[in-house]
Amino acid sequence: MRMHNPPHPGEVLRELCLKPLELSVSEAARALGVSRKTLSAILNGRAGISPEMAIRLSIAFDTSAESWLNQQTQYDLWAAEKRRKSLRVERLAA
């Protein structure tokens, strides 16, 4: 029902924002007001997009903070679903 392997939002960020503007990671990080390491981690899928980062992206690229966070939510949910069967939960509603 859900995607099998949604791209992490960092991948999308690189393709849709940095690439078209020919921005280096260093330049983009400086503009966003975060460290180069922080942005690099996001771009390479080793960190997620926090609410604050979503707002930074919305300012810098004139996009919707919500869309970035929703992408992140989808990705987090997909990752968490892999552990669904290990959760011991009783059903409370029909």
Closest CA to 18 of 43, 49, 46: 43
Q: Which residues bind its own copies (CB under 8 A)?
A: 17, 21, 23, 28, 30-33, 51-52, 54-56, 59-63, 65-66, 69-70, 73-74, 76-77, 79-81, 83-84, 87-94
Smallest gap from residue 44 Cβ to its own copies (A) = 20
Cα–Cα distance between 69 and 90 in angstroms, integer? 30
Q: Does 42 bind DNA (CB under 7 A)?
A: yes
Report whether 2 contacts 78 (CB < 8 A). Answer: yes
| Upper half-sphere CA count for residue 48 (Cβ side, 13 Å) | 12
Q: Which residues bind DNA (CB under 7 A)?
A: 24-27, 33-38, 40-44, 46-48, 50, 52-53
